[in-house]
């Protein structure tokens, strides 16, 4: 009997014991091994804040010697450390604030300050950063700051320092936002590593849950949708993301409608501007043709009555000057239309043959001939105007269809 037990023990020594899958799966948080949503938020917040604070400290250590950020960073560093160490840090702060770069005393003081920052709790540090940010914002709203004239070159005023401080803290906040999702994801992957070994069959569910909970937007949407009954507590990433996209589509529909109306008004203005420009061009062209007729009559008269040659030539020159003047006006109108067409949405340019029109009018100013090229330009303009009219008279039904489809999908979910 003892021999049998010994052989069983030796046989099972290298085997990792796998347990049955957990029976209770209330939501995505419990799937990942947390007691509740609050448990996840507390643990994730603690871990992420710690990582983000260390990231901020690394920024301080690098940027305290940069000319563009030195003044701001050393003030922030000293304020945070003073909030923790009080008067005991006064001497060190004095060295950081007043010693020149390259000074060994300054370098030693900075090293000491960075060491203290690494030991300060993230909660205390972020609270102090919030106080510094609020002080800067409040000062920039004062009448005293608004009344200040621009500082002299090379002189940094108190107002400038508050402005730069506010900008710098905002860049830190953006850095935090960028890093936060990756930090939460790493935290969750580490958190479930033992669960994946213990409960391998539900590994897919945990990975799906991480994709939702590591994103602030999706996590907040999941929480709200579960409370409102739009999502089941055990929802897949695909279900959550699809509903999230559809709800955003519905939410943005009023903005799309307003944008569509504004686009329609812009198209009307574009159409009216093009019509006015075309009418001006036609009028100038008629004037050119009329001038040419008068020119030809004086040229004929000059040939038939040589003794009136000087007077006839003078009239020919006068009409030629008018022709040149009208040609310049036509060029101005064509260029004006070219500028107007830049406001047409990019997706319409191909269907409206805008590129063809631009190629035609680009060749006209060089030749100064308003015959075949000019007729082609007018045809292009007429086609563009007709399409603009059709666009305005028959608005697209895409928004309506999108609205119906979106609501149908939400109902199905």
What are 242-299's pLDDT values in tens digits?
999 888 887 766 555 556 666 666 666 776 777 788 778 878 888 888 888 888 988 9
* pLDDT at residue 398 greater than cutoff 60: no
- Please give the average per-residue pLDDT across 143-169, as a whole number: 71
Asked if residue 37 and residue 171 are part of one domain, the reply reads: yes
Q: What is the pTM of this model?
A: 0.55
Q: DSSP label at 99? A: S
Q: If we measure between CA atoms, which residue out of 14, 13, 34, 10 comes closest to residue 22?
A: 34
Higher pLDDT, 193 or 344: 193
| Confidence band of 23 (pLDDT split at 50, 70, 90) | very low
405 located within any domain: no
Asked if residue 267 and residue 190 are part of one domain, the reply reads: no
Asked if residue 264 and residue 158 are part of one domain, the reply reads: no
6 located within any domain: no
| Confidence band of 5 (pLDDT split at 50, 70, 90) | very low
Quote the number of domains for the chain: 2
236 located within any domain: no
**pLDDT for position 382:** 67
- Please give the average per-residue pLDDT across 345-349, as a whole number: 60
12 located within any domain: no
Owner of token pair 């903005």: 255
Asked if residue 272 and residue 149 are part of one domain, the reply reads: no
314 located within any domain: yes
* pLDDT at residue 52 greater than cutoff 90: yes
| Confidence band of 400 (pLDDT split at 50, 70, 90) | very low
Asked if residue 199 and residue 85 are part of one domain, the reply reads: yes
Do residues 47 and 188 touch, judged by C-beta distance below 8 A? no
Asked if residue 278 and residue 336 are part of one domain, the reply reads: yes
Its domain, for residue 354, covers 252-399
CA gap 360, 338 in Å, rounded:
11
- Please give the average per-residue pLDDT across 333-345, as a whole number: 75
Asked if residue 212 and residue 169 are part of one domain, the reply reads: yes
Asked if residue 168 and residue 36 are part of one domain, the reply reads: yes
Work out the end-to-end distance of the chain between its first and last CA atoms, rounded to an integer number of angstroms.
60
CA gap 45, 24 in Å, rounded:
25
Q: Which long-range contacts (CB under 8 A, 24 or more apart) does 116-125 make?
A: 116/81, 116/84, 116/85, 116/89, 117/57, 117/60, 117/77, 117/80, 117/81, 118/54, 118/57, 120/80, 120/81, 120/84, 122/49, 122/50, 122/52, 122/53, 123/49, 124/83, 124/84, 125/53, 125/56, 125/80
Asked if residue 178 and residue 276 are part of one domain, the reply reads: no
Asked if residue 69 and residue 164 are part of one domain, the reply reads: yes
11 located within any domain: no
Do residues 32 and 234 touch, judged by C-beta distance below 8 A? no
List for the chain the helix, strand, coil content (%; round to 5). 80, 0, 20
**pLDDT for position 408:** 39
Asked if residue 202 and residue 269 are part of one domain, the reply reads: no
| Confidence band of 367 (pLDDT split at 50, 70, 90) | very low
Write the pLDDT tens digit of every residue in 195-235. 888 888 888 889 889 999 999 999 999 999 999 888 899 98
**Max avg pLDDT among 174-188, 197-211, 341-355:** 174-188
**pLDDT for position 24:** 62
Mean pLDDT of the chain, nearest integer = 78
15 located within any domain: no
Token duo for residue 48: 């992420």
Asked if residue 144 and residue 76 are part of one domain, the reply reads: yes
158 located within any domain: yes
* Strand locations in 216-370 (E): none
């Amino acid at each position: 009997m003892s021999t049998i037990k010994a052989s069983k023990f030796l046989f099972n020594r290298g085997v990792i014991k796998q347990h049955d899958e957990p029976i209770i799966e209330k939501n995505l948080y419990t799937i990942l091994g947390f007691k509740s949503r609050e448990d996840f938020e507390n643990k994730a917040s603690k871990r992420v804040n710690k990582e983000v604070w260390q990231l901020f400290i690394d920024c301080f250590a690098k940027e305290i010697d940069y000319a563009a950020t030195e003044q701001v960073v050393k003030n922030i560093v000293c304020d945070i450390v003073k909030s923790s160490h009080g008067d005991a840090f006064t001497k060190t702060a004095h060295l950081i604030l007043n010693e020149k770069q390259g000074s060994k005393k300054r370098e030693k003081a900075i090293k000491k300050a960075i060491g203290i920052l690494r030991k300060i709790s993230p909660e205390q540090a972020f609270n102090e950063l919030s106080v510094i940010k609020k002080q800067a914002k409040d000062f920039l709203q004062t009448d005293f700051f608004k009344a200040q004239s621009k500082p002299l070159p090379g002189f940094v005023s108190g107002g400038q320092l508050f402005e730069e401080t506010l900008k710098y803290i905002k860049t830190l906040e953006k850095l935090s936002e960028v890093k936060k999702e990756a930090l939460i994801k790493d935290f969750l992957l580490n958190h479930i590593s033992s669960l994946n070994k213990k409960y391998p069959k539900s590994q897919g569910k945990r990975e799906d849950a991480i994709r939702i909970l590591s994103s602030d937007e999706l996590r907040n949407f999941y929480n709200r949708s579960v409370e409102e009954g739009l999502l089941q507590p055990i929802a897949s990433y695909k279900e959550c993301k699809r509903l999230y996209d559809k709800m955003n589509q519905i939410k943005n529909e009023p903005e799309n409608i307003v944008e569509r109306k504004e686009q329609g008004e812009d198209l009307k203005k574009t159409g009216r501007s093009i019509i006015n420009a075309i009418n001006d061009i036609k009028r100038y062209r008629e004037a050119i043709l009329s001038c040419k007729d008068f020119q030809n009559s004086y040229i004929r008269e000059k040939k038939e009555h040589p003794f009136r040659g000087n007077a006839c030539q003078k009239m020919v020159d006068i009409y030629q000057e008018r022709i040149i003047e009208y040609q310049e006006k036509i060029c101005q109108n064509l260029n004006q239309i070219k500028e107007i067409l830049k406001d047409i949405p990019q997706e319409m340019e191909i269907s409206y043959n805008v590129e063809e029109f631009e190629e035609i009018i680009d060749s006209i100013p060089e030749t100064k001939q308003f015959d075949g090229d000019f007729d082609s330009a007018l045809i292009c303009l007429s086609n563009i105007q007709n399409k603009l009219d059709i666009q305005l008279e028959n608005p697209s039904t895409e928004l309506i269809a999108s609205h119906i489809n979106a609501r149908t999908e939400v109902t199905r979910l």
